[in-house]
Amino acid sequence: DKPRPHVCGTCSRSFARLEHLKRHERSHTKEKPFECPECARCFARRDLLLRH
């Protein structure tokens, strides 16, 4: 198992990579910074926007 030094302050879930923690933190804040330029729907993750 990889070490998981990045810990969520809200739920204590831990991550090996800082960017994964940052992505996870948006699940608590409901922040959705990625907006579709065609329909204005917003997503918490860039990969979900691209799949849309």
Where are the strands (E) in 3-48, listed by range? 6-7, 14-15, 34-35, 42-43
| C-alpha–C-alpha distance, residues 12 and 9, integer Å | 6
46 pLDDT band (50/70/90 cuts)?
Answer: very high
Backbone angles phi, psi at 41, to 5 degrees: -70, 145
Q: Does domain 6-51 match CATH 3.40.50.970? A: no
Q: What is the pTM assigned to this prediction? A: 0.75
Domain layout of the chain by residue ranges? 6-51
pLDDT digit string, tens, across residues 26-41: 999 999 999 999 999 9
| C-alpha–C-alpha distance, residues 9 and 28, integer Å | 10
| C-alpha–C-alpha distance, residues 11 and 18, integer Å | 16
